[in-house]
Chain A
Amino acid sequence: MKFLTRRLFGLAVLVALGVTAVLALWVSPDDAQQGDAVRLLYLHVPTAWIAYLAFFVTALASVLWLVPRTRRATWDLLAGASAEVGVIFTGLTLVLGSLWGRPVWGVWWEWDARLTTTAILFFLYLGYLALRRTGATADERGKRCAIAALIAFADVPIVHFSVNWWQTLHQTGTVFNEEMNATIHGSMAVTLVFAVGAFTLLYAYLVQLRLRVAELEEGLEDRELELAIAERVRAEQVVPV
């Protein structure tokens, strides 16, 4: 993407997030039970959604890398970039959930199924990111990471359905619940949908940014390898005969 296009994209994301903040903090009403604490909903739900989306993209890119016919170095880099954004948003989901839980539930944290499986998701992909920095050759590392990404992705549906499968402290889904009957009032629903849209844009922006950096870093690494070889060769040549 060209420099100007990237700048305009960034500006669009910033405006979308600004509108989200105005809708969430001023326009939308408070809740009958929770009062103003409900406003954390408009961050907690979008960040959780982005975490799901990011790890899905990582899994998809990993499959594309594993299949020989579609294998391209970019898929591996995309998997890494998306996982990194996913980890940031999983972390935000956990912290925002805690900040919401304290005033409403009366507790910062409980080891219930939804909270624990989400924390597990965070550490699975943190481990994945660490794994990406180990290994000798690009092929070896790519294969190891792609398989790890697919195994870790198994936790995403577990996180999502945990509130239906087990009796948890965390509430069930508001929009995508078992009855597929959204239980959220009009302008609150509009705010939530807008926030999810804005965060999806933000996700796309962050991933393309991170992908570009990863491509540059890889180029740098290749170039440094060349330089290192040249330096070694030079060092051996100056040895006096």
Chain B
Amino acid sequence: VIPHAWTYVSVGYGLTALVLATYTGWMFRRRRTSNASSPVRRMAERKRHRLRFSIIALLCIGAVVWMLVLMQRNVVFYKTVSQAVADRDHDGTRSMRIGGAVVPGTIHPTADGAEFRLTQGGVTVTIDHHGSEPALFQDCAPVVADGHWRGTTFESGRLIIKHGSDYEPPADAKKRCPDDPFSNDR
């Protein structure tokens, strides 16, 4: 169970309502006035604004370039367990992410985190995690661990849940533990 789920939901719905109410002018109506007294001065003011907007346009292009650079490193956000094991010798101890499903009954708390087995595509590895766990971390959970190899064990410093795109109420849900949690994603 996710703690404070309703808090996130309320903030999301409230924020959306606030943005729309402001944008439609239903709330926080603001009268736009110009300081310039004469039409000639107002024209000059427009010209100054043009320069300001050119700068904003350039800053946006800069932001796009910066994000493209950031994304390059993350185009393959994680390797599945089977891919990661196949590439283990090649990857060495470099920082990477590995994704699979938690094998039921293998989660053992350690002094600073948890040790568990992660499976995907018929391959299973041991993850030694140091740090906190996300709310949905449990048996069968689809997990992406951020860390590096140490021998045949994967040392993780951070866990992220990569949930699927299936939605169903608890009553309809069959207890499933997929061998390949990311089969949709190739």
Q: Do A and B come from one complex?
A: yes
**Chain A residues at the B interface, C-beta cutoff of 8 Å:** 10, 21, 24-25, 29-41, 43, 47, 88, 91-92, 95-96, 99-100, 102-107, 110-113, 116-117, 119-120, 123-124, 126-127, 130-135, 163-164, 166-169, 171-174, 177-178, 183-185, 187-188, 202, 206, 209, 221, 224-225, 227-228, 230-232
Chain B residues within an 8 Å CB radius of A96: 12, 15-16
A135 to B24, CA, bound (A): 28
Chain A residues within an 8 Å CB radius of B168: 31-32, 184-185, 188
Chain B residues within an 8 Å CB radius of A185: 167-169, 172
**Chain B residues at the A interface, C-beta cutoff of 8 Å:** 1-6, 8-9, 11-13, 15-16, 19-20, 23-24, 38-40, 42-43, 46, 49-50, 53-54, 56-57, 60-61, 63-64, 67-68, 70-71, 73-80, 99, 133-137, 144, 159-173, 182, 184-186
Contact A120-B8, Cβ < 8 Å, known A113-B71, A177-B184, A188-B167: no
How far is the CB of A227 from the nearest CB of chain B, in Å?
Answer: 4
**Are A225 and B43 interface neighbours, CB within 8 A?**
yes
Chain B residues within an 8 Å CB radius of A183: 164-167
Of the A-B pairs whose beta carbons lie under 8 Å apart in the complex, a sample of 20, sorted by A's number, is A32-B170, A33-B163, A43-B13, A43-B16, A104-B136, A106-B160, A123-B67, A124-B60, A127-B64, A132-B53, A134-B57, A135-B50, A167-B77, A167-B80, A167-B185, A171-B165, A174-B165, A177-B184, A224-B42, A232-B40
Contact A134-B53, Cβ < 8 Å, known A103-B2, A183-B167, A185-B169: yes
Checking A24, A130, A171, A206 against B164 with a beta-carbon cut-off of 8 angstroms, the contacting residue is: A171
Checking A37, A107, A120, A206 against B5 with a beta-carbon cut-off of 8 angstroms, the contacting residue is: A37
Chain A residues within an 8 Å CB radius of B71: 111, 113, 116-117
Chain B residues within an 8 Å CB radius of A206: 23-24
Chain A residues within an 8 Å CB radius of B6: 36
Chain A residues within an 8 Å CB radius of B61: 127
Chain B residues within an 8 Å CB radius of A47: 16
Contact A106-B134, Cβ < 8 Å, known A39-B9, A116-B70, A228-B43: yes
Contact A37-B67, Cβ < 8 Å, known A104-B163, A169-B77, A177-B184: no
Checking A35, A123, A135, A230 against B2 with a beta-carbon cut-off of 8 angstroms, the contacting residue is: A35
Contact A123-B42, Cβ < 8 Å, known A36-B5, A167-B185: no
A88 (CB) vs chain B CBs: closest residue: B23
**Are A163 and B185 interface neighbours, CB within 8 A?**
yes
**Are A166 and B77 interface neighbours, CB within 8 A?**
yes
**Are A131 and B43 interface neighbours, CB within 8 A?**
no
How far is the CB of B11 from the nearest CB of chain A, in Å?
Answer: 6
Chain A residues within an 8 Å CB radius of B3: 103
How far is the CB of B27 from the nearest CB of chain A, in Å?
Answer: 13
A184 to B165, CA, bound (A): 8
